[in-house]
Structure 1
């Protein structure tokens, strides 16, 4: 009998965390699912097998290797994912009231620590390094954008990048200016997007526009995976567990800070020299 599914937040997280344990053919299924997540998972076994370039039995083995009792149970888990992906803070709160946990209330600090630990346990160091490598590319113009709350994370990253290198800026909010900025992107540039559940269609449009121009897209998202993941060059998902109805941003912030540290290391003396010049100019202008 197949083992029970691992206690992870989403099917996408399960796939990403188990890729190293799969056979080469099963990894093809995993990549096909992640590239078209979650819609690819609702195709028939035969259609998904064709998409991945494998046999039907390989698709079924893939599902059982993840701990599901066949492909139908795997698809049910995907349906549960969709329900979670669209949940609002009020919906999350109402569910907690209707189905209270019999255990003692969890310590908010413990939940925060656990979410950060789980985030770094599931994000490969290679992906953080790949993100930093793209952001440290001296030839690249960096543009950033986020959503209602994640805009704060985008701004945080932008401020640090601007202190270390030139060519990094938030996309303007004004529509005409934003369109003009997007029009200047080339294949050597990088678009950094923050998109968390209740994913925002304007952010997805930015990603698809950039991908069509072969601009590199870096995505910070949650474990349910923004639809942007299918066109992103680098995907950095973070856990969002919290003791409130609102998704936690602390793990995503920790990922951003890890990327900043890696960028600083890669930029080396050019970053420290820029910071020295900025500090000197700020003193000369009486700004500090």
Structure 2
């Protein structure tokens, strides 16, 4: 089977096309494969046959009945399915398995670095300085800045809030204050900015915060990956960037790089406010002692 053909169909399609040729042993193997597609993409033919309780060469015979030269080619097909089917990557185990599949070719660390570099290169072509400036201008005019994110975006939100505070801005990380969320949102005004960070599907809480901000007239910024881009009502300023293709790290490097660019640009336009605040903060840490260095 050619690679192009393998990439255009899924396992279920192959089973339907070749159902008349399949034996009882084939069926048992297929049950094993479809029961845990993540594990199936990682194992060799003997391991799959053993789990199905059939002869060690049964997986090879199944692969040939389905049109492959042997089990290695069939396994490559299963791996391609795992990597190409986007829906599977809502599950952490599938994302992890896909990364392990890719790591077999170049090595674990090299594959991670390749993924990060590829994702960052996409940012170079998809996010503009004008979008970064729109973010920083909104922040520079804010009375108060509220940052919120869930999951991995929670960690990013915390770091952004700390950096903005050190830069002299009244910023709060709402992600770590969910028990105080009603009180915080009750104080929102049209002079405030809400910065939402969202990776994958927006949470219900995030969408509630967006709606409340809209009703208060607060300006809303959003930094998301492509999966988290559907926020309603639409943010006033929105940067959406891929964190990597399926099977790539999907880490915080891309959004952190964009956030760093925003904060750096903020320092360039706020008439030395950031610079003065950073100097004051450095002096304060020195006065408090080495434990705060």
State the TM-score, normalizing by the size of structure 2. Answer: 0.61
Q: Is 2:249 the counterpart of 1:249? A: no
Q: Is 2:170 the counterpart of 1:167? A: yes
> Post-superposition shift, 1:201?
1.4
Aligned equivalent of 1:142: 145
Distance in 2 between residues matched to 1:229 and 1:246, nearest whole Å: 28
Please report the RMSD computed on the Cα atoms of aligned residues, expressed in angstroms: 2.9
Aligned equivalent of 2:154: 151
Alpha carbons of structure 1 residues 169 and 96: separation in structure 2 relative to 1, 3 Å:
closer
Q: Is the 8 A contact 1:132 1:259 kept in 2?
A: yes
Distance in 1 between residues matched to 2:173 and 2:263, nearest whole Å: 16
Aligned equivalent of 1:193: 196
**SS of residue matched to 1:227:** coil
Give every structure 1 segment of 4 or more consecutive aligned residues whose post-TM-superposition deviation is greater than 6 Å: 94-97
Pick the aligned partner of 1:181 from 175, 184, 205: 184
Pick the aligned partner of 2:131 from 127, 132, 135: 127
5+ residue gaps, structure 2: 1-84
Aligned equivalent of 1:116: 120
> Post-superposition shift, 1:84?
3.9
> Post-superposition shift, 1:176?
4.5
> Post-superposition shift, 1:86?
7.5
Matches within 5 A, 1:263-274: 263-274=266-277
Pick the aligned partner of 1:226 from 207, 225, 229: 229
Aligned equivalent of 2:243: 240
Q: Is the 8 A contact 1:89 1:246 kept in 2?
A: no
Q: Is the 8 A contact 2:196 2:206 kept in 1?
A: yes
Alpha carbons of structure 1 residues 108 and 173: separation in structure 2 relative to 1, 3 Å:
closer
Aligned residue pairs total 204
Distance in 2 between residues matched to 1:148 and 1:273, nearest whole Å: 33
Aligned equivalent of 2:80: none
> Post-superposition shift, 1:88?
2.0
> Post-superposition shift, 1:132?
0.7
**SS of residue matched to 1:107:** helix
> Post-superposition shift, 1:155?
1.3
State the TM-score, normalizing by the size of structure 1. Answer: 0.62
Distance in 2 between residues matched to 1:267 and 1:85, nearest whole Å: 44
> Post-superposition shift, 1:136?
1.6
> Post-superposition shift, 1:128?
0.8
Alpha carbons of structure 1 residues 161 and 257: separation in structure 2 relative to 1, 3 Å:
same
Residues 147-177 of structure 1: CA distance to partner in whole angstroms, max 9, x if unpaired? 1111111111111111112311112644441
Q: Is the 8 A contact 1:154 1:194 kept in 2?
A: yes
Alpha carbons of structure 1 residues 96 and 212: separation in structure 2 relative to 1, 3 Å:
same
Structure with a larger share of its residues in helix:
2
5+ residue gaps, structure 1: 1-81
